[in-house]
Amino acid sequence: MKSGIFAMGSMLNIDIFKKMLVPSFIEKGYSITNMMPINSELLSGNGFYNGYSILASIIGDEFQKTIDEVLMYASKNIPDEYRSSGIGNNHFSRFDHFLDPKLGWESEQVFVGLFETIGVYDNEETASQLFPAIAQGYLLEDVKKKVSDVSGTMKRFLNSKVRDI
């Protein structure tokens, strides 16, 4: 089996991930070895919103197809308790374009699972071994962004106070 690291969903937390996605992965014979929320703004894919995505290392095969299936299943089966707190389809899926091979152009919009592949590896151990370093990189980027935001706020505040003097 292979292993991989993926960022999944948008505006999610670990509790929702464990209750809605992990059982589907286990049912399909996959293992989730690590998981952590990361700032969705740090991801480059379409459909990621403010808030958190879940970074996870997974053991299995056919990742693209399976992750898409799990996320699409979750988007269609959101429990009322989560729906009432604002969790909707767009937290698990996004619009994409289906290219019709016969026509050669876009023929319809379709929903696909909302995830980004960080890396796929040829053995079961690599993703778990790399996960701490990759997770730390996302944490450091998030801290850097927050420090920059605070620095900008402080500069604006100080400039306004200097003008008042």
Q: What are the distances in angstroms from CA 116 to CA 79, 90, 104, 113, 149?
A: 24, 15, 26, 9, 26
Rounded to the nearest 10 degrees, how much is the dihedral formed by the CA atoms of 81, 14, 63, 136? 160
Residue 108 reports pLDDT greater than 80: no
Nearest to 42 by CA among 127, 145, 132: 145
Provide the number of structural domains found in the chain.
1
Give, rounded to a whole angstrom, the gap between the first and last alpha carbons of the chain: 67
Considering the chain, what percentage of its residues have pLDDT values greater than 70?
Answer: 85
Mean pLDDT, residues 14-42 taken together: 93
Question: pLDDT (tens digit, 9 = 90+) per residue, 123-152?
Answer: 999 999 999 999 999 999 989 988 988 988
Domain that holds residue 127: 2-164
Q: Which carries the bigger pLDDT value, residue 44 or residue 18? A: 18
Q: Is the pLDDT of residue 49 over 90?
A: no
What pTM did the predictor assign?
0.81
Q: pLDDT digits over 64-75, tens only? A: 999 999 998 998
